[in-house]
Structure 1
Amino acid sequence: MMPLPSNLDGEDVDMTGRSLTLLVVATLLLFVASNSLYVIKETERGVLLKFGEVVSPNLEPGLHVKVPFVNNVRKFDGRILTLDSQPERFFTQEQKALIIDSYAKYRIADTSTFYKATNGEESRASGLLAQRINNRLRNQVAIRTIQEVVSGERDQLMETITRELDIVAREELGLEIVDVRVKQIDLPPEVSESVYRRMNAEREKEARERRSQGQELAEGIRAAADREVTVISANAYREAQQIRGRGDAEATAIYANAFGEDPEFYSFTRSLRAYQDSFQSSGDIMLVQPDSEFFRYLKDSSGGN
């Protein structure tokens, strides 16, 4: 084989060196770009730091540029977050204990204040906010009775706590308090049983009173119904007797008129009815004189003597 010219070996070396240089430059550019560009999403809030100091708070969503190794970006969740507090014991105006379970809805309003107060840690922000919620609840419950806390002024209590806590949280933590709500209010376990027994006794007493009132009312209704039945029956009997009397009088008048028209025929029909009533069965026996008036029409159909 013929040996390659020496100038070709130099060109290969130069090409390899240029390629390596370009590769290194591209790698450096990619590294710088990856450390210089950052994105803030629509659901995020962020701050730009320079050696740990906030230089650009409340970064807008989109693509941004920073100086590598000089600037640092901290991103936070910009959506509405929920803080579910642990149930706590609070005392009312009557020094009665209540176990109140609450929650709060909040979001970051000022990223600079939020970062300075919590170092950008959501768990720390939740702890600080929970303390302030408990303090506001304790103060508001202490000036109200149990009735007011449970139902009477519950909405007003929540509105007052939300308004006051929002002012404090904005100034101290950079948070906006959207809402504070009470999930559940319970009595302490040591008094729940006694309260239950007292409530049960009161309900039983009320039930007995209601039953007594119901029985009294039922007796009155029953007596009124019986009285009305008696009156209706008496009126119906009177009307029936009157109708029966008029019917008997009319029947008597008809019979009298018929008897007046043909007394002999009327006497004959009465005798036939008497014969029929007297001899309904074969075992009937009648002892009378043969010449009795009863047999007048049996002896002579004309009824002659």
Structure 2
Amino acid sequence: MSFMLEHAPAAAEAARRHGLRVVAGCVLAGVVISAAAGSYFVVQPTEQAGVRRFGNVISAAPVGPGLHWKAPFIDHVDKVQTSLNSVLVDRLVVHTIDNQPVTLAVAVSYTVPRDAVFHLLYEIGRAGVHDIDENLSRIVRDRASKVFAQQNTTTISESRQRLSDLLRTTLSHDLRQLYGVEVADLQIASITYSDSFRASVEAAVKAKNDAIAAENTVTRVRYEGEQRKVQAQADAVARVTEAEAAQKVRVLGAEAEAKQIELRGAAEAKSLEVVGQALARNPSLVSYTVAKAYKGDVPQVVGAGGQGGIGTYLLGQLPAVAAK
């Protein structure tokens, strides 16, 4: 029993030392592993990187894709995405020249050239695409506000492509100057007008449609009036033509009747002339004609003084006529 009590402190000390050795081994192993893990870094194909040591950039040029070595614990790697990237600036409210609010959504696609990597990482702001997007968003909002401030609200829809091209040209120049990035594409994703403007447009469209309908009505009435006028003129011409034809018929009839009268008169005159010539050559022709036409009847004619008239005379002449 006494032996165990005498050796107990030694055993405890040995156990403590063993524990310390285990802890030290673990710490050393951790340090070695950390050092090994921190002695290299990988740059993806879509990235470029820079290395800092104690706050100083020690990379002579941007580090490209691949596996690279660095001093553990004292070197820090900053990466930036250089492949095609996009930033969407939505709920962007701008005001037009006629003081109408318009809400836009603008999508900008861009790339980071190799010679702009250090400028973006160490002169513009902290490394990372997130910071770049924030900086680009501010520029997009400012330039979009300036471009749309010169436009009339009523012409925005029809000028959408022109405005998109104008904004892209402006942003390409300014983003290259400020950040060195290249704008690959820009699209105005959406344009939302205010409720008051939409109401005014609807009212204007209705008024225009009403005006067109009224104009169509006027045109129709005018056309119908022209039709009635043409029909009336045609009817008048027809009546005049009919009247002229009837007049011509009457004239021709009158001329024919006059010709007949003329011919009949000429015939009668010729007949009288022949009779006159016959009487002149033979005065007793009248008595002969009367006698020839006499049927034996005595006319019931009483002359003055109660004596017979023409009948007595004719009877008295009969023998003479007969004798001849």
Which bin holds the TM-score, normalised by the shorter protein? 0.5 to 0.7
Q: Which residue of the partner structure matches residue 168 of structure 1?
A: 174
* Alpha carbons 2:100, 2:194 under 8 Å: kept: no
| 1:133 partnered with 2:136 | no
Q: Which is worse superposed, 21-30 or 183-192?
A: 21-30
Q: Which residue of the partner structure matches residue 41 of structure 1?
A: 44
For the residues of structure 1 that align with 2:42 and 2:101, how far apart are their CA atoms? 50
- Picking from 119, 133, 150, the partner of 2:126 is 119
Per-residue displacement from partner, 1:35-82 (whole Å, max 9, x unpaired)?
A: 112111112222222223333252111111111122111223333222
Q: What 5-or-longer segments of structure 1 have no aligned partner?
A: 1-20, 225-305
CA 1:54–1:190: 2 relative to 1, 3 Å: farther
SS at the partner of 1:150? coil
* Alpha carbons 1:39, 1:64 under 8 Å: kept: yes
Q: Which residue of the partner structure matches residue 56 of structure 2?
A: 53
SS at the partner of 2:156? helix
SS at the partner of 2:151? coil
Give the AA of the match of 2:144. Answer: L
| 1:188 partnered with 2:194 | yes
Q: Which residue of the partner structure matches residue 289 of structure 1?
A: none
Give the AA of the match of 1:69. Answer: F
- How many residues of Structure 1 are paired with residues of Structure 2 in the alignment? 202
- Report the CA distance between 1:22 and its aligned residue: 11
- Report the CA distance between 1:212 and its aligned residue: 6.4
TM-score, structure 2 normalization: 0.52
For the residues of structure 1 that align with 2:223 and 2:66, how far apart are their CA atoms? 78
* Alpha carbons 1:90, 1:98 under 8 Å: kept: yes
Highest CA radius of gyration, 1 or 2? 2
For the residues of structure 1 that align with 2:195 and 2:168, how far apart are their CA atoms? 29
- Picking from 144, 152, 162, the partner of 1:145 is 152
For the residues of structure 2 that align with 1:184 and 1:49, how far apart are their CA atoms? 42
Give the AA of the match of 1:89. Answer: V
SS at the partner of 2:120? helix
- Report the CA distance between 1:148 and its aligned residue: 4.5
- Report the CA distance between 1:174 and its aligned residue: 4.0
Per-residue displacement from partner, 1:211-243 (whole Å, max 9, x unpaired)?
A: 76579879999xx9xxxxxxxxxxxxxxxxxxx
- Picking from 97, 100, 103, the partner of 1:99 is 103
* Alpha carbons 2:47, 2:64 under 8 Å: kept: no
Q: Which residue of the partner structure matches residue 276 of structure 2?
A: none
- Picking from 85, 89, 95, the partner of 1:85 is 89
Q: Which residue of the partner structure matches residue 156 of structure 1?
A: 162
* Alpha carbons 2:106, 2:187 under 8 Å: kept: yes
* Alpha carbons 1:112, 1:174 under 8 Å: kept: no
TM-score, structure 1 normalization: 0.55
Q: What 5-or-longer segments of structure 2 have no aligned partner?
A: 1-23, 231-324
* Alpha carbons 1:88, 1:101 under 8 Å: kept: yes
Q: How does 1:127-276 map to 2 (within 5 A)?
A: 127-152=134-159, 154-210=160-216
Q: Which is worse superposed, 127-136 or 163-172?
A: 163-172
CA 1:205–1:111: 2 relative to 1, 3 Å: same
Q: Which residue of the partner structure matches residue 64 of structure 1?
A: 68
For the residues of structure 2 that align with 1:207 and 1:130, how far apart are their CA atoms? 48
* Alpha carbons 2:106, 2:190 under 8 Å: kept: yes
For the residues of structure 2 that align with 1:199 and 1:128, how far apart are their CA atoms? 41
For the residues of structure 2 that align with 1:40 and 1:219, how far apart are their CA atoms? 85
For the residues of structure 2 that align with 1:213 and 1:160, how far apart are their CA atoms? 44
SS at the partner of 1:151? coil
SS at the partner of 2:119? helix
